[in-house]
Amino acid sequence: MDVGDKRVGVAVSDAMGWTAQGLQTLEKSSKEKLFSNLSSILKQYNPEKIVIGLPVNMNGTLGPQADKVRQFAKELKSIYSGEIVYWDERLTTLSAHRLMIEAGVRRDRRKLKADKIAAVLILQSYLDYLNNKKKEG
């Protein structure tokens, strides 16, 4: 998940844990609606764990946005009892915008898709890390 102030981007992995696919972007207009939508997604996909992008500053410190993400994860525990993993999301939103610009996505559509694409980048980075660990071990 890519948790922003206004939206949450959601991605899922394939059954083998090799690739991440963008699922959807959820608006944070209402906490009840957001958690209802997340609950439906969790019931449908039944994930073993949730990977949440943690906004880390370029110098490695955590700022106010990281606190907001951690608070969101605490609230997520009300509907999800599995493991939550925080993953460094530095530059994922910037990368998502670059990918969309290269693909010719119009500016007005980029804002709506950036969170979902950032969620894909976060999850893919995590999956790549796990798969590389398996190869080494």
What CATH number corresponds to the domain at position 98? 3.30.420.140
The helix-helix angle for 64-76 and 31-45 (nearest 10°) equals: 60
The token pair at 22 is 């963008």
Helix (H, G, I), strand (E, B) or coil at 13: strand
- For residue 61, the 8-state DSSP code is -
Count Cα neighbours of 32 within 13 Å in the Cβ-side half-sphere.
0
For the chain, the straight-line distance linking the first and the last C-alpha, in angstroms and rounded, comes to: 27
Q: How far apart are CA 64 and CA 91, in angstroms?
A: 17
Q: What is the largest CA-CA distance in the chain?
A: 45
Domain holding 40, by residue range, is 2-136
Task: pLDDT tens for the chain, 137 residues: list them.
Answer: 999 999 999 999 999 999 999 999 999 999 999 999 999 999 999 999 999 999 998 888 998 999 999 999 999 999 999 999 999 998 787 788 888 899 998 988 887 888 999 999 999 999 999 999 888 86
Domain total in the chain: 1
